[in-house]
Amino acid sequence: MTAHERILLATTGWNPGAWLQVFRRECPDRQTVTEPDGPADPSIRYAVVWKHAPGSLARLPNLRAIFSLGAGVDHVYLDPALPDVPVIRIVSADLTMRMTEYVVWQVLDHARQGPAYRAQQQQRKWRELPQPAAASLTVGIMGLGVLGTDAAGKLGNIGFRIAGWSRNEKRIAGIACHHGAAGLDAFLGESDIVVVLLPLTVETRGIIDASLVARMKRPTPLGGPVLINAGRGGLQVESDILTALDDGTLMAASLDVFENEPLAAESRLWTHPRVTLTPHIAATSDPARLVPELLREMENLERGRPVKGLVNGRAGY
């Protein structure tokens, strides 16, 4: 990339300030801007985006690639006028470790009866609950990609049995792997805690619905199946999850992502006693850690070297 070629930072809902500061520090010889000089600005070489305005990249004549500021790219493909250039997502040890921390935190919280003990504490109730050992619980990971595989490994080290579900067939040591629609029931049937780390695509939208919850394992050592979703809110049907929690089909849920974000103040999920809710923070994208990696990916692209985060546009992830 030459000095007169520029990087466009296009975000909605995220303050671009911190990203801009790091781009300008790490890449002083090229300009990073938040607005192009008109819709057909010839100087824009790369767009780095989080929920960019649909259509805003369509006429940039020299755009070489679009970089997502997250691991997920569903927000990129919302643009019906997306230019036909490579889409590249974040694949980073920093982001991966953050997600693994979240998954291990939530799995251990459910495995150690955290929600029930917090409720007992509110009532000053001293009562010991059944405590299954990690080795007697199976954690099922939906989505055995970069994030799912790492979380699976760390949970396996703690002693949990691990099952996994992916689109394509896989063989991974220590994981009972299932794949495709045909493998879903077997996967659900052996998972005491289901962790969802799927991307949001046309195939996965709304996959966590009443039908899926009804097919989850029961009975389980925790009194019923537990759901943890840190993938995307569009994967879940929130009304079905609430019904399943109310009627006991689902024991408990940890949700980091929601159909509409921020979650509406009137949603019953906020106050449900068996829901643990976080505001889409499972794995935060940290500019200081990720900008140098993004710049390395740009350089790899320019030099014809392998690009870690290259997205399969047809699959949508």
When CB distances are held under 5 to 8 angstroms depending on the partner's kind, the choice from ligand OXD, ligand NDP, none that residue 144 binds is: ligand NDP
Q: Residue 168 Cβ, how far from ligand OXD at the closest point, in Å?
A: 21
Q: At 287, is the secondary structure helix, strand, or coil?
A: helix
The listed partner (ligand NDP, ligand OXD, none) that binds 148, CB under 5 to 8 Å by sort, is ligand NDP
Stretches 17-25, 191-199, 220-228, 295-303: which one binds ligand NDP (CB under 6 A)? 191-199
Query: Residue 265 has what DSSP assignment?
Result: T
DSSP state of 208: B
Determine the 3-state secondary structure of 182 from DSSP: helix
Partner in contact with 309, chosen from ligand OXD, ligand NDP, none, beta carbon below 5 to 8 Å by kind: none
> Does residue 148 bind ligand NDP (CB under 6 A)?
yes
Give which of 39, 55, 48 is closest to 10, Cα–Cα: 48
Please identify which residue in 63, 232, 250, 287 interacts with ligand NDP, judged by CB under 6 A: 232
Report d(CA 132, CA 222) in Å as an integer: 8
Task: Decide: is 254 part of the binding site for ligand NDP (CB under 6 A).
Answer: no
Site residue total, ligand NDP (CB under 6 A): 30
* Nearest Cα residue to 142 out of 52, 49, 227, 248: 227
Contact 207, 230 (CB under 8 A): no
Tell me how far, at minimum, the Cβ of 67 lies from ligand NDP, in Å. 14
User: Which residue among 112, 215, 280, 289 is the active-site one?
Assistant: 280
The interface region with ligand OXD, picked from 52-60, 68-76, 190-198, 216-224 by CB under 6 A, is 68-76
Helix (H) or strand (E) holding 275: strand 275-277
User: How far is residue 76's CA from residue 54's CA, in Å, rounded to a whole number?
Assistant: 9
- DSSP per-residue codes, 229-253: E-S-GGGB-HHHHHHHHHTTSS-EE
DSSP reduced 3-state for 178? strand
The total number of residues shown for the chain amounts to: 317
- For the chain, count helices (H), then strands (E): 9, 12
Active site residue 232: yes
Give the amino acid at 66. Answer: I
Residue 75 annotated in active site: no
> What is the identity of the amino acid at 309?
G
Position closest to ligand OXD via CB: 70
**Interface with ligand OXD in residues 75-104 (CB under 6 A):** 90
Q: Are 281 and 256 in contact (CB under 8 A)?
A: yes
Q: Which span (29-37, 70-78, 142-150, 267-275) binds ligand OXD, by CB under 6 A?
A: 70-78
- If one asks whether residue 71 binds ligand OXD (CB under 6 A), the answer comes out as yes
Instruction: Choose, by CB under 6 A, the member of 70, 115, 148, 225 that binds ligand OXD.
Output: 70
User: Does 191 help bind ligand NDP (rule: CB under 6 A)?
Assistant: no
Q: Binding to ligand OXD (CB under 6 A): which residues in 274-293?
A: 283, 285
Distance CA 308, CA 232 (A): 22
CB-based contacts of 98, cutoff 8 Å, min separation 6: 282, 283, 284
Give the active site residue among 232, 289, 296, 305.
232
Q: Which stretch binds ligand NDP (CB under 6 A): 11-19, 48-56, 194-202, 298-306?
A: 194-202
Q: Is 231 one of the binding residues for ligand OXD (CB under 6 A)?
A: no
Stretch that binds ligand NDP, among 36-44, 230-238, 246-254, 261-269 (CB under 6 A): 230-238
Per DSSP, helices labelled H in 66-161 are 74-77, 93-111, 114-122, 146-158
Catalytic residues, which ones? 232, 280
Interaction site with ligand OXD (CB under 6 A): 70-72, 90, 283, 285
**Contacts to ligand NDP by CB under 6 A:** 70-72, 99, 143-148, 165-168, 197-201, 203-204, 230-232, 256-257, 280, 282-283, 317
